[in-house]
Structure 1
């Protein structure tokens, strides 16, 4: 556990552009080897075994705030076709009214826990894929501190937590405000007062790093697509990779794939994939969650708050937070993007076993 800390978007120095490609790093700053000579071969082998067997293992998709189960059905079907047994936590739009009124996430965790029990019974340890807020909610399930009277501690049932555009370090300073939660528990007496009013602050206080989630591998992916810029005032119209925020300057980059610069994904050399109005919306969103709007991110979540200390980082140029109106504007669930993070869904020892078998062959 640790004191709550502010995101490091403030006082952001600039650095030179990173290559227009997908990048895998560690948030400790050390470059990792290209994961995927072995990782990708293992994932390909799992897909070759067919969708009906679920041979790639169990995968649970956690919807983000104000998202519903239906919006992830296509992604679940895509993963199933590649050999995984994929399921989505059941969430409807009306469920979110409870949160908007200041309720906690106990209903969400209860459904996730039930689904995890079923998946674990069939597959053993599974992978959790948390989109947006779903990524930090997963930390509540994996941790051992009681949440609303329930001690989950499900890290033994999960081998990997992959978060997609999750605002792990959000300051939650929304222009429309937010209703304070009323979290309970004797253990909250030793925490700052604000922890009892926010499930996200609860997660960040009790589980501030990847290491605080036992032996679960944590991978934080975030799109690097658009830099916020107000409609009125100065600012660069370039994409975030052309002028990245300070957080990315602390990471060592290692390419794990390439994206077509001419595909219209808003990268250098490609056709423009967003408008000035998009930049204004991104500016507003980034400012609400990190205190600064002129940073880069996926249109909703800025890079600087998308990472958890100690986790592996996957930076995805040109990837948006949610589906857009054009196939040239992919989101995390687009088929060509799932190929970049799909290898992390395999249990680590299964990856090593598959890769070793292929090398021997």
Structure 2
């Protein structure tokens, strides 16, 4: 039987946006749930504050699905910020951001068979995400846990340029990897969506968000490419 699967939404996104992806994975045979986030659940994390509230909801969801199915491990799918949040969740180092009195440790890597990240900025120059991403990069560089299969999916859709239609992509890529004139999914450049040691994929034509017009990572065609890495 395929392993249960948990979807971690992207920054400021709610679980509702992933219902179609969740249904598609269920149709492929994977029992799937999305961390039940609402947009307002992200508010305590705004302004470089800890993502602990999101990690707590992720942990609750993982424990619930493991109780519901006869499995000792799950697949984890992190979209955008959900990818690097998932990497914190896997880790055994105390997570102690500013303004957080008590350290938190989840040490969940034994529970995760495969981690798939979709358009995740694994590096960033943005000051409001820099602390968290530096924490991940310094403590868990690359495909850190050898017992976990890391699959990092990037989109090659929009080339960032300083002209109408490409300006948002240019600015986002510049803030993320330090170079605006590069390829990405319109928000995350390929250069920051991949990890050393992971199985790194590039899918052409996919846009970053489930709310984007056209095809995104969870649309049927891209899904068929990366879903085969699930266990």
Q: Shift of the alpha carbon at 1:95?
A: 1.6
- The question of whether the paired residues in 2 share the 8 Å contact of 1:63 and 1:130 is answered with yes
Q: What is the alpha-carbon distance in structure 1 between the residues aligned to residue 229 and residue 75 of structure 2?
A: 8
User: After superposition, what is the alpha-carbon deviation per residue over 1:204-229, rounded to whole angstroms, capped at 9, x for unaligned?
Assistant: 1100121x224101010001111001
* Match among 76, 83, 86 for residue 128 of structure 1: 76
Residues 1:111 and 2:53 are matched in the alignment: no
Counterparts of 1:102 and 1:302, CA distance in 2:
21
Kindly indicate whether structure 1 or structure 2 has the higher relative contact order, using CA contacts under 8 Å at least 6 residues apart.
Answer: 1
Aligned twin of 1:258: none
- After TM superposition, the score normalised by the length of structure 1 is 0.59
Q: Would the aligned equivalents of 1:324 and 1:330 in 2 still touch at CA under 8 Å?
A: no
Give 1:288's aligned residue: 175
What is the SS of the residue equivalent to 2:31? strand
Shift of 1:323: 3.6
Could you tell me whether the CA contact under 8 Å between 2:76 and 2:115 is conserved in 1? yes
Please say if residues 164 and 332 of structure 1, whose CA atoms lie closer than 8 Å, have aligned partners that are also in contact. yes
| Pairs aligned (count) | 223
RMSD: 1.6
Given that 1:127 and 1:161 are in contact with CA atoms closer than 8 Å, whether structure 2 keeps it comes out as yes
Distance 2:37 2:84 in 1: 16
User: Does 2:218 match 1:314?
Assistant: no
Cα-to-partner distance string for 1:319-338 (whole Å, 9 max, x where unaligned): 11014665xx3100112221
1:201-253 deviations in Å (ceiling 9; x for gaps): 1111100121x22410101000111100102xxxxxxxxxxxxxxxxxxxxxx
When normalised by structure 2's length, the TM-score is 0.91
Q: 2:188 aligns with which of 292, 301, 323?
A: 301
Q: Return the match for 1:165 from 119, 124, 143.
A: 119
User: Is 1:335 matched up with 2:213?
Assistant: no
Contact 2:17 2:210 in 1 (8 A): no
Structure 1, unpaired ranges of 5+? 1-54, 181-196, 232-275, 347-361
Matched with 2:149 is 217
Q: Which runs of 5+ in 2 are unaligned?
A: 97-102
Tell me the equivalent position of 1:205: 138
Write out aligned runs for 1:1-361 (5 A).
55-121=1-67, 122=69, 123-148=71-96, 149-173=103-127, 178=128, 198-210=131-143, 212-231=144-163, 276-277=164-165, 279-323=166-210, 326=213, 329-346=214-231
